[in-house]
Amino acid sequence: FTLASKKVLCWDGRNPQAVGDISRGELRTLLLGRFSEASGVVRFGAKLVRLAVEETKAVAYLADGSKLVASIVIGADGVFSRVRRNVLGNSCLSVQPEVVRARGWCANKGQLRSWTRDLPIRFLVVAHRSGSVLFISFYHSRIVWVASLQRGKSAADGHSLERLEVLELLRSQGNWHPAICRLIAESEDFNAETSVDLDMSTCLEGLRGAAEQRAVLVSDALHAVGGGGGPWAICDGVHVAAELLQSARGQPQETEHPAGLRELLTGEA
């Protein structure tokens, strides 16, 4: 579908163990009704085989031989999924984490380690630029940042980056939107691990300048980690994508979910 004149591609990992999934009809209503800038047709049933970044666009190759080209990709196939590995490359993952489910909460064994245990992660944004990647996970009204940045140290040494170190790295690389640095500086919780060798990745630049020249992968933590279901993650991903586009255009960002979406996602009355 189209969001603020940008082509958006969503996929759902179709995990049979997901709990609390909303129906396709509800998903369609949320995508095209709750988000004022969204329009177009929601297509179901296409099997995603491979996702690649070509020039300034994200290209999805489908099982029937066709392909879809989009500026924004919203994935509900897991943080450390095969789709993400197709984008970053298997060689970029210094540690392959074991992802397990525990009462609908986050329980990772690997890169995220014990600090994420029992946190109800709402969604995860992966903002790519050449040579670096930034994970941004939101839950409730707080923000947790996990910046995976390689700076010549072995990922196995467990070295954590301090907040100021990450800010300095991003500023030295350039091309990061000011909102990203501002949110890192103001985030209530912060954790950064040197867990991915990003020099080997092939990512696009972050949000800056013309938004149509940026391919942004928005991937969830609910589906593979929290077990909340792909449609939830897609809806949250669309909300984040809209905020990113607003930020890229210099417009103020909204901090709340559209009416009705928060209640649906959290189960609140």
CATH number at residue 123: 3.30.9.30
Are both 159 and 219 inside the same structural domain? no
Are both 171 and 182 inside the same structural domain? yes
Burial class (CB in 10 A: 0-12, 13-18, 19+), 170: buried
Between 176 and 142, the higher pLDDT residue: 176
Are both 114 and 180 inside the same structural domain? yes
Q: Which helix (H) or strand (E) holds 159?
A: none
Are both 152 and 115 inside the same structural domain? yes
What ranges in the chain are assigned the alpha helix state H? Answer: 24-29, 82-88, 163-173, 178-186, 230-248, 261-266
Out of 53-57, 92-96, 177-181, 220-224, least confident range: 92-96
Residue 12 lies in a domain: no
Are both 70 and 157 inside the same structural domain? no
Q: What pLDDT shows up at residue 70?
A: 75
Domain count, the chain: 2
Are both 144 and 189 inside the same structural domain? yes
Q: What pLDDT shows up at residue 181?
A: 62
Residues 6+ apart with CB under 8 A from 67: 59, 60, 61
Are both 84 and 103 inside the same structural domain? no
Give CA–CA dist 29/256, Å, rounded.
18
Residue 102 lies in a domain: yes
Kindly state the average pLDDT of the residues 236-263: 47
Written as six digits, the tokens of 196 are 């991915």
Kindly state the average pLDDT of the residues 238-257: 50
Residue 25 lies in a domain: no
Mean pLDDT for all residues in the chain: 47
Written as six digits, the tokens of 154 are 């072995």
- pLDDT of 153 > 70? The answer is no
Are both 84 and 206 inside the same structural domain? yes
Give the whole-number percent of the chain exceeding pLDDT 70: 8
Tell me the whole-structure pTM to 2 decimals.
Answer: 0.42
Q: What pLDDT shows up at residue 268?
A: 34
Kindly state the average pLDDT of the residues 237-245: 56
Of 145, 170, 199, which residue is a domain's last? 199
Confidence of residue 215 (pLDDT cuts 50, 70, 90): very low
* Chain-centre distance for alpha carbon 31: 17
Find out whether 263 and 269 touch, Cβ atoms under 8 Å. Answer: yes
Are both 110 and 181 inside the same structural domain? yes
Give the whole-number percent of the chain exceeding pLDDT 90: 0
Confidence of residue 167 (pLDDT cuts 50, 70, 90): confident
Residue 28 lies in a domain: no
Q: What pLDDT shows up at residue 102?
A: 26
Kindly state the average pLDDT of the residues 51-66: 72
Residue 82 lies in a domain: yes
Residue 104 lies in a domain: yes
Domain, as residue range, for 130: 95-199
Of 199, 217, 233, which residue is a domain's last? 199
Q: What pLDDT shows up at residue 24?
A: 52
- pLDDT of 184 > 50? The answer is yes
Out of 56-60, 189-193, 244-248, least confident range: 189-193
Are both 122 and 187 inside the same structural domain? yes
How far apart, in Å, are the Cα atoms of 77 and each of 66, 85, 145, 234? Answer: 20, 11, 20, 10
Are both 101 and 189 inside the same structural domain? yes
Task: Describe the strand order of the beta sheet including 57-62 as a list of residue ranges.
Answer: 48-54, 57-62, 67-70
Q: What pLDDT shows up at residue 164?
A: 77
Domain at 80, CATH number: 3.50.50.60
Are both 147 and 240 inside the same structural domain? no
Q: What pLDDT shows up at residue 229?
A: 46
Between 89 and 168, the higher pLDDT residue: 168
Per-residue pLDDT tens digits for 110-145: 333 322 333 333 333 333 333 334 444 433 333 333
Q: What pLDDT shows up at residue 62?
A: 78
Residue 68 lies in a domain: yes
Find out whether 11 and 43 touch, Cβ atoms under 8 Å. Answer: no
Residue 254 lies in a domain: no
Q: What pLDDT shows up at residue 25?
A: 55
